[in-house]
Amino acid sequence: MSNLLYPLSLLLAFGACALLVFGVGKLLTQSRMRQRLRQSVTNRRALRAPKQVPASQGSTWHAVLSSLSRLSVPAGAWQDSERRLKFIRAGYREASAAQAYYAFKTTFALVLPLLLALVLMIWWPATPYTRQALYVVSLAAAGYYLPDVYLRFRTNQRAKDMRDTLPDLIDLLVICTESGLGMDAAINRVSQEIARSSKILAEEFYLAALEIRAGAGRSTALKNLALRVDLEDLHSLVSMLVQADRFGTSLADSLRIQSEVMRTKRMQRAEEIAAKVPVKMLIPLIFFIFPSLLMVLIGPAVLQISAIFAK
C-alpha cells in the first residue's frame, strides 16, 4: 500500500497544478475577451489600455516575473522568433505574456520539484534516494513542458472555434459586398456582426480592420491576419481575397465558392467524427455494458442451477 502512495501523490500534485494553470488562464482569457469585444462592438474604437495598477504593486509584480523568467528565457532575439508568434496565435498579445510564460516554466521546473523533495523527506524518509530522485526529475520535466502543452491546447481550441464559424463569416462578406460595401467596410462590418457566433474570429478581423484603417494596406492586413491565426481555411480565404483584389475578379462569386468549399469540409469533419463513434463505443460496451447485461440475463439461471445442485 505504501508503494502506491508515492506515484499517487505525484500524480495528484501534477494534476492539481495543471488544473490551477488551466483555470487561471481560462478565467483571464474570458475576462480579457469580453472587455475587448464590448469596446469594439459598442464604441468602434481602438481597444482600451489595460487597467492601471498602483506603481508599487506593478513594479513588485514585474520584478517577480522578471526574476522567475530570467532562468528560462532563451538566448538571442526570441521576441522576433517563432515563440513570439505562438503567443500571438494563442491569444496573448500583452508584453508581460512572455515573462509570465517563462516564469511558469521556472516555477514548475524548480519550485514544485523542490517542494516534492521536501514532502518526501519529511513524510516518507524511508524512501530510497533513487526513487526520490526519479520522482523529482519526472515532476521537473513534466512541469517544464506543461506551459507548452497548455499553449498548444489553447491555440488548437482557438483555431477550431474559428474554423467552424468561418463559412458563416464568408456568407456575411458576400451579403456585404453584394449590398454595395467595399471590402474594407465589409471586413469592419463583419467583425462586428460575427461576434455573436465567434468572439475570437471577430477580434481577429477587427484587428485586421484596424490595420487597414491605419494605412497598412488590405493585402498586408489580410496576410498578417492569416499569420496570426495559422488556419488552413483562413489561408486559402486570404489568398483568394488577395488574388481577387489584384486581378479584379468578381469578389462575390469567389466568396460564394469559397463558402461552399468550407461548408463541405465542415460536413466531412462532422461525418468523420460520427464514423469514429462506433469504434470509441467498443471499450465501454465490452467492459461496462456487456458484463451488466450478462449478469442480468444469466444471473438468475446460474442461481437456480446452483440451488438445484445444492439440494
Q: Report DSSP letters for 54-118, one per residue.
A: -HHHHHHHHHHHHHHHTTTPPSS-GGGSHHHHHHHHTT--STTHHHHHHHHHHIIIIIHHHHHHH
Residues for the chain: how many in total?
A: 311
- Rounded CA-CA distance 303/283 in Å is 28
**% helix, strand, coil for the chain, step of 5:** 85, 0, 15
Q: What is the pLDDT of residue 49?
A: 38
Residue 72: phi, psi to the nearest 5? -115, -10
Q: Which of 79-83, 101-105, 234-238 has the lowest mean pLDDT?
A: 79-83
Whether the pLDDT of residue 65 is over 80: the answer is no
Question: Binning pLDDT at 50, 70 and 90, where does residue 3 land?
Answer: low
Region 188-198 average pLDDT: 87
DSSP characters over 148-182: HHHHHHHHHHHHHHHHHHHHHHHHHHHHHHHTT--
Instruction: Say if CB 139 and CB 16 are below 8 A apart.
Output: no
At CB < 8 A and 24+ separation, what contacts does 234-240 make? 234/162, 234/163, 234/166, 237/166, 237/170, 237/262
pLDDT of amino acid 26: 67
Domain parsing of the chain, residue ranges? 2-43+55-156, 161-279
Nearest to 85 by CA among 217, 201, 230: 230
Mean predicted confidence (pLDDT) in 193-219: 87
Q: Residues 6 or more apart from 121 whose CB is under 8 A from it? A: 132
* Residue 69 CB neighbour total at 10 angstroms: 20
Give the span between the Cα atoms of 301 and 95, in whole angstroms.
71
- Name the average pLDDT for the chain: 77
DSSP 180: T
80 pLDDT higher than 80: no
Q: Please report, for residues 219, 223, 259, 263, the alpha-carbon distance to residue 245 in angstroms, rounded to integers and kept in the order given.
A: 8, 13, 18, 23
The tally of CA atoms less than 13 A away on the side-chain side of residue 169 is: 30
**3-class SS at 51?**
coil
Sequence-ordered list of residues with C-beta below 8 angstroms from that of 86, at least 6 positions apart, any chain:
151, 155
* Amino acid in the structure at residue 72: S
Q: Say which residues have a Cβ less than 8 Å from residue 146's Cβ, sequence separation at least 6.
A: 17, 18, 21, 104, 108
Range with the poorest average pLDDT among 37-46, 99-108, 129-138:
37-46
DSSP assigned state of 45 = S
Q: State how far the Cα of 258 lies from the Cα of 308, in Å rounded to an integer.
A: 73
